[in-house]
Amino acid sequence: MAATLPILLPGENAAARMAEADSAASEGKVAPRLRSFRDFYAFEQHVATCRAQRGQEMVPAWYEVPVFYFSNPDSLVGDGAEVCAPAECEELDYELELGLVIGRAGRDISVEEAWNHVLGFTIVNDLSARDLQRREMKVGLGPAKGKDFATAVGPRIVPLESLRDRIGDDDRLDLEMVARVDGQELSRGNARSMYFSWPQLIAHASRDATLYPGDLLGSGTVGTGCILELRPENTGGWLTPGRVVELEVERLGTLTTHIVDRP
């Protein structure tokens, strides 16, 4: 079984999690406290499908640079978290993503050196309020409140060394990715279908900026990896209270999120 590391979320002080971190430290490992979150847009199938639904073709610039946005690191939640939709949201969605955690600081990191800065990988559920997001994006800036409320990460970090046998010559990871809602499989893809490689993402993120240990980079949504792409009429609708989302990635485990009523 692959070695794993605990995840410490911003502001998390639970004794059990700290004890787990201390245990990891005693074994010479590092339990990172996730400190920032850049989310990329690296799967062509997802981007092309969503644009086609809006009657849009692919933007040539998408193929030139791996774009990302900054999300809220203080809204990161862990495995088994209970999440409610934002106020006025009626279109809550999951997003099946892979997450990379930086282990060594660097600035202007080259593609050739990028893997040397990686601690490991985890699963990301980039929860999205689609109706809020759609309204905001008309302005040409964002996303903002459509992504601000919660992002689930977990259940653990699997160190890079435990996954090197799944890295191809093209620097893509060969890992099956599956999403289930209430036990029913809705999404299936593979991390190797990323258009941009992880070293390319790291190089771009670190250009004129320093990446620090604990920085989280999201892959963006794998093809078929959300209700928006599949369409709600084909998936039993948007996420509502009582539904349970399970994101499973080969060798990384399963990240579970419970959708609950607003307090």
- For 176-206, write each residue's pLDDT tens digit: 999 999 999 999 999 999 999 999 999 999 9
pLDDT at 181: 99
CA gap 54, 168 in Å, rounded = 34
pLDDT at 6: 78
pLDDT at 52: 92
pLDDT at 2: 44
All residue ranges of the chain with pLDDT < 70 are 1-4, 8, 10-32
**Radius of gyration, alpha carbons of the chain:** 17
CA gap 41, 46 in Å, rounded = 9
pLDDT at 1: 32
* Domain contains 1: no
CA gap 101, 53 in Å, rounded = 32
pLDDT at 69: 95
Q: Which two tokens stand for residue 209?
A: 């900026």
* Domain contains 87: yes
pLDDT at 22: 56
What CATH number corresponds to the domain at position 127?
Answer: 3.90.850.10
* Domain contains 197: yes
* Domain contains 10: no
pLDDT at 16: 58
Total tally of structural domains belonging to the chain = 1
* Domain contains 7: no
* Domain contains 184: yes
Q: Which residues constitute the domain of residue 104?
A: 15-259
